[in-house]
Amino acid sequence: MNRDSPRKHVIPVMVPVPTDRPYSYAVPEAVEVPPGAILRVPLGPREVAGVAWDGDGEAVDSKKLKEISQVFDCPPLPAEMRRFIEWVAAYTLSPPGMVARMALRAPAAFDPEPPVEGLRLTGNRPDRMTAARERVLAQAADGQAWTRSGLAHAAGVSLSVVDGLAGQGVFERVEIPPRPLVARPDPAFGRAELTPDQQAAAERLREKAAADGFGVTLLDGVTGSGKTEVYFEAVAAALERGGQVLILLPEIALTQAFLERFHDRFGAKPAEWHSDLAPKKRERVWRQVAEGQVRVVAGARSALFLPFCELGLIVVDEEHDPAYKQEDRVFYNARDMSVVRARFGDFPVVLASATPSLESRVNADQGRYDRIVLPARFAEAAMPDLSAIDMRKAPPERGGFLSPVLVEAIGQTLARQEQALLFLNRRGYAPLTLCRVCGHRFQCPNCSTWLVEHRFRRQLVCHHCGHNEAQPEACPECGTLDHLVPCGPGVERIAEEVDRHFPDARTIVLSSDMMGGVKRLRLELEAIAEGEADIVVGTQLVAKGHNFPGMTLVGVVDADLGLANGDPRAAERTFQLLSQVTGRAGRSGRKSTGLLQTYQPEHPVMRALVCGDAETFYEREIAERERAVLPPFGRLAAMIVSAASRAEAESHARALRRAAPVVNEIAVLGPAEAPLALVAGRHRFRLLVHGTRRADIQAYLRTLLEAAPKPRGSVRVQVDIDPQSFL
Ligand code: ADP
Ligand code: ZN
């Protein structure tokens, strides 16, 4: 560049790489780049999409300064979204570039959707008429533009007939603008007749959604009380105001019934957003959300980073669900970040749950959140009658896992032609295989876990890294044939036991690793809802949001399973999960039962479930957390150090510990070898940072990481603020 060329100006651009600040780029003189504009920029040897950030670019040596390549024809990322990205980055200690990357996950959507090519009648006649041509002309006679295949399909002819006509000038080619992905929802479409309780709740929510301003409401109602109907009214109010709405759901890919319900209420479906969406569809959703054509998105946690232009309400359904926590690259909790997003956008949030997280309950108790309670199920549907089966007193038969009490209840359910659900949160056939002769246990070569037998697939599988091997016949250690035994149950093994007891019943196993993926699961779930199975054996995916009208018995095979893992939230989690599972029973009003197989019937979780006394349970848990200064009364963060060798991981973890400043409000625990000491060939150590509620844990961690040696070689450090997992 010579000295006299016009001065280019320099702008900051957030690029999708682990950088803690935007990079500077030059902009050619005639080009306008507003903050938020999505750009293509050179980065090293490649080109990437980035976002024009705010303020002036830093001065850079003009020889190094590169020029932006392209400004996409795309709505800029709104300022509130840019502030949100910065906030999430600072809170989670993630590079803002990596958070911005989550908002740019649809590269092909940065260019406008190309118009579709269409055909329109010109008035010219074809040289020769046939019956097929007649039909095409009749269809197109309305003068509208048709797509080539749409016209062929409507006329019931092959494409070649249409092409033949076009070739003779009977049609001209025109451009049809891309169709909106979903129709506009109509807030007045199918308003439900609400009960007085629901009505009162709906009005309170409506008021909030109809006014300006940030605020959080916890909608706390038992399963089947009509929370969905009620928050639909808040959605209606937000739509009437011209806002877009985001509804977060933990298992959107599997809760297609939700889309139908939304359609019944609003006359149109919401746009879906989740990882099982085809790429083309994702791109259209992203684009139409940015342009404002899509008014409502029902999505998984990552929908929070969609580029809404007029977001006016977020609903987080099943707000307690652990699926809202992302534990990959940027560790964040979408429920908590929804509240932050709403604060930046100055609009309300609704958190709905039958078993709120302790965090949300305490926020409500302390007046930071409004709380609305729906105490009863709709239409006098009774809650299931829950009791514990004391496994010490009513043990299963030898080699089995089902107590005679549960087996008898299943028999009675079948006799009434109703459905039973057996819940066990363990995939596969058996969690451990061992050799009866030498005691050898089959372990994953890459992880410190046992291999899980999957009998249908005839494989031993690692649930952490995916390693799998054919089911062996001989012990690799002592060579003895046919002496390998499965230990403990998974859903497949329970199904086998059920088959022994009830050979004529139609039994289905449902777990997330089923062949055929999401599509197959959806079909199975529909079939179950329509009564096409008698007994369902399933993992937690059957617990979520499904409505099985004929389900009157829920048996929990191992109610103690989640209590033993040393996680401070173990009791809360177990209570939430088991409430949700047993809540699948009796949703259509028939008398229903839940049976919990447990070796500790006196445990507070079992007592709370059996007595239906959630309040006592919450009070006790809250008091305990307060005493231990655990969240929400204190703060936690984890540092997970991993490396190719155990020694490297340990030594870096110790170095972090040595770098930890000594302060009053914060303590560092560890390092300790992680319970999952080896995952996918990487050795892991953990440190836990524990602070009071007032402590600035982020600032503390920043200082610590700054003072510690930089990770070298294979060493990686992952920070997890508000950890949910302690493995
Ligand atoms: P929740 O979300 O609290 O579990 P839902 O909103 O799913 O409850 O309601 C449970 C069932 O009761 C659903 O099948 C729903 O259609 C029905 N229901 C709830 N309230 C009403 C109402 N006011 N009118 C008609 N059906 C309702
Ligand atoms: Zn593994």
- Between the alpha carbon of residue 174 and those of residues 119, 140, 166, 399, the distances in Å are 6, 14, 12, 71
DSSP code at position 429? S
378 lines ligand 1 (CB under 6 A): yes
Best of 222, 228, 247 for a ligand 1 pocket test (most atoms within 8 Å of beta carbon): 228
**Residue 480 burial (C-beta neighbours within 10 Å; 0-12, 13-18, 19+):** middle
* Whole-number pLDDT of residue 430: 94
**What is the Cα–Cα distance from 550 to 589, expressed in whole angstroms?**
10
Q: How far is the CA of 443 from the centre of ligand 2 (A)?
A: 8
- Residue numbers of the chain with a pLDDT score lower than 70: 1-8, 545
**What is the Cα–Cα distance from 507 to 528, expressed in whole angstroms?**
10
* Whole-number pLDDT of residue 1: 42
The pLDDT tens digits of the residues spanning 130-170 come to 999 999 998 888 888 888 888 999 999 999 999 999 888 89
226 lines ligand 1 (CB under 6 A): yes
Q: Is the backbone of residue 548 left (phi > 0), alpha (psi -120 to 50) or beta?
A: beta
DSSP code at position 644? S
Question: Which atom of ligand 1 lies closest to the CA of 221?
Answer: 3
DSSP code at position 355? S
Residue nearest to atom 20 of ligand 1 (CA): 226
- Residue list, CB under 5 A from ion ligand 2: 444, 446-447, 462, 464-465, 467
Tokens of 52: 């024009």
* Whole-number pLDDT of residue 499: 96
Choose among 68, 79, 59, 60: nearest CA to 32. 68
**b/e string for 637-665 if b means 16 or more Cβ within 10 A?**
bbbbbbbeeeebbbbbbebbbeebeeeee
Residue ranges of the alpha helices (H) in 515-671?
517-529, 570-582, 604-611, 614-628, 646-659
Least distant ligand from the CA of 579: 1
146 φ, ψ (degrees, to nearest 5): -120, 150
* Whole-number pLDDT of residue 545: 64
Q: Is-contact 565 725, C-beta < 8 A?
A: no
Least distant ligand from the CA of 376: 1
- Between the alpha carbon of residue 212 and those of residues 208, 230, 347, the distances in Å are 8, 20, 6
